[in-house]
Structure 1
Amino acid sequence: MTETESARQGVRHLAVDEDSAGQRLDNFLLRELKGVPRTRLYKALRKGEIRVNKGRVKPDYRLEAGDNVRLPPLRTPAPTEAPVVSRQWVGRVEAGIVYEDKSLLVVNKPSGLAVHGGSGLNYGLIECLRQMRPQDRYLELVHRLDRDTSGLILIARKPALLRELHRQLRGDEVDKRYLALVQGSWPKALSRVEAPLQKNVLKSGERMVRVDREGKRSVTEFSVVERFKGATLVEAKPVTGRTHQIRVHALHAGYPLLGDDKYGSREGEVLCKQLGLRRLFLHAARLSLKLPESGRLELQAPLDDELNEILQRLRK
């Protein structure tokens, strides 16, 4: 991004470079004008204060390389210090980096760390990475994992790759496989759960998902990995990418995930206490995608010590 000062005091003109080409204008503005409320940005667009190539544009306009973006002087709140991430999380995230190149980071996210701050959380994985990599001008989550879910997560270092991976995710070109420990004996013949899911947000802000005929089409494929007394280790492949999809589909099938405080059962709670399981047993174990410059990328993340110990106790 190159910048020139306008003759008018306080007005800036930014020239869009190749890295920012293809990005929605509103997302671009949120990054360039950090701290300015979203409502103020949209008002500036409606009034024509913000222009592209001297013309009025809508928030969903896709920028092109060489576009000239006019930014007026907009008031921003007094800067606040970025939250300081604890050394413990920084160390665990650094140790969890499984792949890195100029456009992509892949992290084996530890359980207990949200992917981003908000809803009472000062920081999450993305804030942690931005603190660790201050030289990285651009770091954005490609997809999400629940706070209690561990495993592989993609972080784009360039807007072009973020757009490409979003395209692959929409087209089912990214293969994601999870390991989950469920209550009961999962039937071998039950290899596919297809049930529409509806997301609801409670007054507390908590998200809950249920099977509902009015919900969005949702499909998960399951296969048995290992059987134990009272539990089954399964591999789950989400064909669609809905919130809490694997957890709700497993519950719908009659075999809720162990350690699930949202969708678990009382019988499962008893088994968890016997095993000493204190977290959700769901892990993003394998990931396969295509990188534009280097071809197919296959990645794996083993279960952490805590989950491996649970399996050892079941085997005994």
Structure 2
Amino acid sequence: MLNIKIPEKEHGTRLDRCVRRLLGQLNQSLLEKFLRSGMILLDGKKAKSSTKVFYGQEINYSQKLSFDKPYQVKKISEYNETYYKNLFKKIFIKETSEYIAINKPSGLAVQGGSKQKFHVDDMLKCISTDDNSLKLVHRIDKDTSGLLLLAKENKVAKKFTSFFKDRKIIKTYLAIVSPCPTDDRGTIDLPLSKSFTKDYQRMSVDQNMGKRAISEYKVLDKVGSRVALVALFPKTGRTHQLRVHLEYINAPIVGDNKYRGLSEVFMSSHNLPEHKKLSQIKWIPNNIKNLQLHAYSIRIPESETIIAEVSEDFKQNLKFLGLKLPKKLHDIFI
């Protein structure tokens, strides 16, 4: 077996992406096969492609493997660099000696991919310096807006990663859902697993093979039984957890085109009391499918609570529906 140490710049990235950057291009299905068979190991042990790697670990790989071509870092264009720097100024929340907090807009992916023109990973390259390489310590979905923390050093990234892993951080989300949950407050404890269709993959409740997922929620305001503003606390961090759990209790998030629930009220012609039809709401100009989910706050153990205010569009949607945003939100689940 040949060995290569993971450099500092790869700290916190996915194993499959790290392999490609360090060793060269390899088809994803083949890479998965080599990981399962043990031809590629992480610190001498089998690991999944999605496993996060850390500075100082070793990738062990068989000398029989061949890679198509060395990985080449794509240079960020001058136009994109200017865009990212201006974007960072707009979404910047605060900076401490340990981290920077930003308010990610809906529609901006966190990680790059073949279909992503702009993403946070590239933005970090533009705003980082040789002495200060910013690192993501957690992620939110592309269509979810809100709070992201960027660690300034590896030791800070490791500390925050352990906080998330040990469930010491309290994250509060806000969502507009339709229809309202049956109960005004509750805990959803349902295991989730990935399921695949011909066109795409999605998460679903799976009592047999799923991983445990726990979400708390509280209704903050509602209009009859049609629509509500809900605060959410994901105690675990499964993919699309909040979206799947809300769909399961038939209170899907407005604008969620993947986890629509049973009623799809937001696409129907039902009238709200003293309101226009929900189908006439302009979430984004001429686009009703903008996901109404916002990562509002993070409470750090023995420290402060960081807040990312909701966007003007979100506020306008609340106003249109007659929903009110309470003043104190960050301590709901403490």
The alpha-carbon deviation at position 134 of structure 1 amounts to: 4.0
Q: In structure 2, which of residues 23, 41, 44 is the aligned counterpart of residue 58 of structure 1?
A: 44
RMSD (Å), alpha carbons = 4.1
Equivalent pairs counted in the alignment come to 283
Asked if the contact 2:254/2:266 (under 8 Å) is kept, the reply is yes
Is residue 218 of structure 2 the alignment partner of residue 223 of structure 1? yes
Asked if the contact 1:142/1:165 (under 8 Å) is kept, the reply is yes
Q: In structure 2, which of residues 295, 298, 304 is the aligned counterpart of residue 287 of structure 1?
A: 298
Structure 2: gaps of 5 or more residues: 47-52, 58-66, 269-276, 324-334
Which one-letter code corresponds to 1:105 in the other structure?
I
Of the two, which has the highest radius of gyration?
A: 1
Pairs within 5 Å for 1:200-279:
200-204=195-199, 206-214=200-208, 215-229=210-224, 230-264=226-260, 265-270=263-268, 272-277=278-283, 278=288, 279=290
% of aligned pairs identical?
26
Asked if the contact 1:225/1:233 (under 8 Å) is kept, the reply is yes
Which one-letter code corresponds to 1:82 in the other structure?
K
The alpha-carbon deviation at position 297 of structure 1 amounts to: 2.6
Pairs within 5 Å for 1:132-147:
132-135=127-130, 138-147=133-142
Structure 1 distance, partners of 2:281, 2:319, is 10
Structure 1 pair 203–128 and aligned structure 2 pair: CA distance change class (3 A): farther
Asked if the contact 1:99/1:106 (under 8 Å) is kept, the reply is yes
Structure 1 pair 30–245 and aligned structure 2 pair: CA distance change class (3 A): closer
Structure 1 pair 183–136 and aligned structure 2 pair: CA distance change class (3 A): farther
Asked if the contact 1:178/1:237 (under 8 Å) is kept, the reply is yes
Which one-letter code corresponds to 2:247 in the other structure?
L
Partner of 1:6: none
Asked if the contact 1:93/1:110 (under 8 Å) is kept, the reply is no
Structure 2 distance, partners of 1:63, 1:274, is 48
The alpha-carbon deviation at position 258 of structure 1 amounts to: 0.4
Asked if the contact 2:217/2:231 (under 8 Å) is kept, the reply is yes
Is residue 318 of structure 2 the alignment partner of residue 314 of structure 1? no
Q: In structure 2, which of residues 173, 176, 191 is the aligned counterpart of residue 178 of structure 1?
A: 173
Q: Tell which deviates more after alignment, 263-272 or 169-178.
A: 263-272
Partner of 2:194: 199
Partner of 1:297: 304
Q: Under a length normalisation based on structure 1, what TM-score does the superposition of the two structures give?
A: 0.74
Asked if the contact 1:92/1:110 (under 8 Å) is kept, the reply is no
The alpha-carbon deviation at position 120 of structure 1 amounts to: 1.7
Q: Tell which deviates more after alignment, 152-161 or 215-224.
A: 152-161
Structure 1 pair 127–268 and aligned structure 2 pair: CA distance change class (3 A): same
Structure 1 pair 246–131 and aligned structure 2 pair: CA distance change class (3 A): same
Aligned-partner SS, 2:175: strand
